[in-house]
Structure formats: C-alpha cells, structure tokens
Amino acid sequence: MQIRDTAVASPDKPAIIMYPSGTVVTFGELEARANRLAHLFREAGLVEGDAVAILMENSEHMHAVMWAARRSGLYYVPINTHLTAAEAAYIIDNSSAKAIVGSGKLVDTLAGLAAELPGGLPPVRIIADGTLDGWQSYPECVAGQPDTPIDDEIEGDLLQYSSGTTGRPKGIKRALPHVPPSESPGLMAALVSFWMHPDAVYLSPAPLYHTAPSVWSMQTQAGGITTVVMEKFDAEGALDAIAKHKVTHGQFVPVMFTRMLKLPEEVRAKYDVSSLQRVMHAAAPCPVDIKKQMIDWWGPIVDEYYASSEAHGSTLIFAEDWLTHPGSVGKPMGGAVHILDEDGNELPPGHPGEIYFEGGNDFEYLNDPEKTQSSRDPRGWKTVGDIGYLDEEGFLYLTDRRHHMIISGGVNIYPQEAENLLVTHPKVMDAAVFGVPDEEMGQRVKAVVQTVDQRDATEEFGRELIDWLRDRLAHYKCPRSLSFEAQLPRTDTGKLYKQELIKKYS
C-alpha cells in the first residue's frame, strides 16, 4: 500500500497527530501536500537520483517533504537538527543536494549555511513556517501547484548520514529501484505489516532525522496507520500521548525506557497504557534489568530488533523469546549471521567477533569506495563493524558497537571528530575521547587530554577546553567531563589503547 490508497479510501483519517500541539494532518492532506511539493521539485529541474536535504525538527511538514522526494525518485537526506551550520553544510555538500528544505525554527542554522558551502547554496531553497532572504516560504510557495500526482512518479530512497572511522559523516546510499512507488514496498515493509494492523495507532517519540523513526513512520503511513509524532520526547509526555491517543504500537530507545521507569510511581499510575499491544526498541543495547522492568510494567510485549542505517541485515526477538534468552537481539529476519575473527574465519557459538550478514540490501558509503570495500568480506558478506556472538540456538548477542563508537541515549557518537578538534588547540598535545557508563543515557562522552605544558592541566583549563569545543561542534558530541594524563597510552605505531582509559575512568 501507499498513502494514496488511504487518502482515496479514508481521506479524513489522521495520518499524523503531533504531540503535544495536537496538530492533525489527514491522509488526504498528506497526499495533496506531497504531490504539490513533488510538482515543485520537478518544476525546479530535479530528476531521479538528485538529493533533497531536510533540516527541520519534528513538525507537521517533514513527512510531506519525505514523501514528495520519495515519489519523485529523489534521495532525501535528513540532517541532525543539533549540528552546527558548518557540520550541516558538509552533509549538504557531500550529498550534492540540489534542494534543501528547512524549518523556520532553525533559521539561524540555515542562515549560516552559505558561508560554509564552497559551491554555494543548493538552487532550490525552501523554508517552512518562516522567512529568509533568497529562500521560498512554504507552504505559500506550492499554493499554485496541482495536488494531483506528477506524471513520472518513480521510487526514491533515504540517504542517511552516519559518521565513519575518520569522524566525518558518511552517506549510506542504496541504488534506486527504477520502478514506480506502487512496485516498491520500501524498507521494513514486511516487518511493519506483520507487526501492526490497519487499525493500529503508532507512536514515534524520537527525532525523525534518525533512520528508524523516518523509515518506520513512513512505512506505517503507507499501511494506512495513524502516526502520533512527539515534537520532543519527555517521559511523562510519552505516557500521556499513549493514554490520550490510545496508542497500540510504538518504537523506543532504551534511554526512553529508563526515563519513564524513573518517574515517580504516582505519576506512572496516572496514565492508562492498556491500549499498548506491542512496542519495539532498537538503536542501542538495552540493559537487561531495564527491559525486565519494562516487561513487568507493560507486559511481555516489548520486542527488539537489531539493524543499522546500512540496512545490510537485521535480527528480531519478541518479548517471549527474550525472556528465555535475556540480552539477545534475536535471530536474522533474512539471510544468515556470521561471526568472524580478524582473519575472516568463522567463529563457533559463544565466541565474540565481528558481525557479518549474508544477503540483505546492498549499499555504498557515498564518495568513500575504500570504506565501502572494507565493509565486505571475499564472500560478499557485509558488516558495519559491530561485535557480538551467537549462542548454540543461533540467537545473536552484542558485546560491543563499532569498536570505539559511543552510544548515548540511542544516538551514535564517533569520538574522533572531537579528538581531531581538541588536538588543534595550541595547548593540547594529544587527546582521547570515549564513552563511560551512564545510568540514564547508557554512555556519556568523556575526554582525556595530554597538554603541551603540564602546568596547564588544571580544572580551569578543562572547563575552558570543553567550552572551546562546544563552540565548534554539536553539543551532544562534546565531552561532559575532561581529565588530564601526563602521557596517553599509545603504541610505537600510534595506536591508542583506549581500553586502558575506559577502565580507569569507568
């Protein structure tokens, strides 16, 4: 199905309900909005394979932009709203975006892009619910466009950016199918259609610029399912949204569970969550005790999947199986999982190694053939560098995530980006950034610095250095604490032994 099917059959059915504002976009309205934007993209000269960058918070407009791009054969590129203008500009430039659709609430970031883009701004520039010189204002700019489909509809795709080992974000690109949207079900279609039903109400509590929220919410809409989109997550608000809108299904990250569990008992008891039928979580390993508490609270309806933005493979475990295999992320939904050692040899059950998937979607890292090649083994199996093991029954367990990657609140943070900036400070000789345990967020960002002059290794300079970094990098990537060492543990070849530091500061 596509949203058009529901728009024709039930045009007044809510496709999107924004929480807490209560703004409703019906399927009829969403279909019309997507069509008008698709006509604007075509009129502006955008063709199959071009990219549209999207820089907006969770709002009533974001799905219309994604659907318009998808049915126009375009790659849509959601950008983290917390990035600085320089960081966002890198993604816009790297993706060769021909258009950018931004939000009035992010006008300062949008205004700063021009100075950061060496080739200038994309030719198509649209700002929703706001004004900016040189930008078209939406929805006014599409008022004269037809609300009927464009003549040459063809399927587009998500182009998600995920940081690489160099610290720079990497575009994860899949080949377009070159078929009409009606012939391409989209990512996760089989799971969503199996897991939910047409009368479901789906809660999307996370930022839509992340892969899972954008993919899942679009797929639920394609199935004619109402999506409740939280404008910003807060624990009590999620419970209120569930109770108010009789939510049946939802997708969370573990830190959301933690925050809801930490609400006072009397607050939790205020909200009726009995409408929930199944919930899913992903994005980060969930502490076993946290998941057990959620199952005690909501019942054995807390399912889990493991996947990546690359969509090269995935696993799934239902709550019932998890209770007998606590800590597992399940079995593959398609293809097979292989655990390999550093020499490419397959490891037996119980032995951790790098996780490879056989089968699954193909992908490339945009403009990085070396990284693309390094994600394959000679048999064509693909990996994103995660570490785990299989048990005797074939259930997968994660032991590490992409080596030194930090996962804080379900968000992937690559430390080298902060490290590379820190060592440019004139008083810094060397730097290491890594994750340390955090009860609420799973991990928090920690930095250890070696100064040029040891007399600078003071608490005052540490605070100054964090502030200096926060002026240059998105705040969520910056360390929350900073310590000093006289010498960082490196080998003669320059390899940093982060594990020694993690052990010391955890």
Q: State the DSSP string of 49-107.
A: T-EEEEE--S-TTHHHHHHHHHTBT-EEEE--TTS-HHHHHHHHHHTT-SEEEEEGGGH
For the stretch 230-248, pLDDT in tens is: 999 999 999 999 999 999 9
For the stretch 257-277, pLDDT in tens is: 888 988 889 999 999 999 999
The predicted pLDDT at position 386 comes to 86
Instruction: Sort strands 406-408 and 411-413 into parallel, antiparallel or unpaired.
Output: antiparallel
Contact (CB, 8 A) for 217 and 203: no
Which are the contacts of 281, defined by CB distance < 8 A and separation ≥ 6?
Answer: 251, 252, 253, 254, 257, 291, 302, 303, 304
Provide the 8-state DSSP code for 496.
B
Largest separation between any pair of C-alpha atoms in the chain: 72
d(CA 120, CA 127): 17
The predicted pLDDT at position 314 comes to 94
Phi-psi region at 360: left, alpha or beta (left = phi > 0; alpha = psi -120 to 50):
left
Contact (CB, 8 A) for 381 and 358: yes
Amino acid at 488: L
As a whole number, mean pLDDT of residues 392-403 equals 82
> In this structure, what are the phi and psi dihedrals at residue 115, rounded to the nearest 5 degrees?
-70, -15
For the stretch 179-237, pLDDT in tens is: 999 898 776 777 788 899 999 999 999 999 999 999 999 999 999 999 999 999 999 99
The predicted pLDDT at position 493 comes to 41
**Burial of 300 (C-beta count, 10 Å sphere; 0-12/13-18/19+):** middle
For the stretch 274-290, pLDDT in tens is: 999 999 998 777 778 78
The predicted pLDDT at position 166 comes to 42
pLDDT surpassing 90 at residue 399: no
pLDDT surpassing 50 at residue 365: yes
For the stretch 90-104, pLDDT in tens is: 999 999 999 999 999
d(CA 403, CA 424): 24
For the stretch 306-340, pLDDT in tens is: 998 898 999 999 999 999 999 999 999 988 999 99
Confidence of residue 400 (pLDDT cuts 50, 70, 90): low
> In this structure, what are the phi and psi dihedrals at residue 72, rounded to the nearest 5 degrees?
-105, 5
The predicted pLDDT at position 14 comes to 98
The predicted pLDDT at position 426 comes to 85
Which are the contacts of 216, defined by CB distance < 8 A and separation ≥ 6?
Answer: 188, 192, 202, 204, 251
Average pLDDT for the chain? 92
Amino acid at 126: I
pLDDT surpassing 60 at residue 165: no
d(CA 63, CA 57): 11
CA distances from 497 to 45, 410, 434, 502, 503 (A): 51, 25, 11, 9, 11
As a whole number, mean pLDDT of residues 40-60 equals 98
The predicted pLDDT at position 164 comes to 41
The predicted pLDDT at position 402 comes to 60
Provide the 8-state DSSP code for 46.
-
- What percent of the chain clears pLDDT 70, i.e. is strictly above it? 96
Which are the contacts of 114, defined by CB distance < 8 A and separation ≥ 6?
Answer: 120, 121
For the stretch 28-41, pLDDT in tens is: 999 999 999 999 99
Contact (CB, 8 A) for 248 and 275: yes
Model pTM score: 0.83
Domain residue limits, the chain:
26-184, 413-505
pLDDT surpassing 80 at residue 80: yes
pLDDT surpassing 60 at residue 494: no
The predicted pLDDT at position 439 comes to 86
> In this structure, what are the phi and psi dihedrals at residue 459, rounded to the nearest 5 degrees?
-60, -35
Confidence of residue 455 (pLDDT cuts 50, 70, 90): very high
Taken in order 22, 27, 31, 32, the sign of the CA dihedral is negative
Question: Which of 3-12, 205-214, 319-328, 399-408 has the weakest average pLDDT?
Answer: 399-408
Amino acid at 326: P
CATH fold of 26-184 reads Rossmann fold (3.40.50)
Q: For the domain bounded by 413-505, which CATH number is listed?
A: 3.30.300.30
For the stretch 334-354, pLDDT in tens is: 889 999 998 999 999 999 889
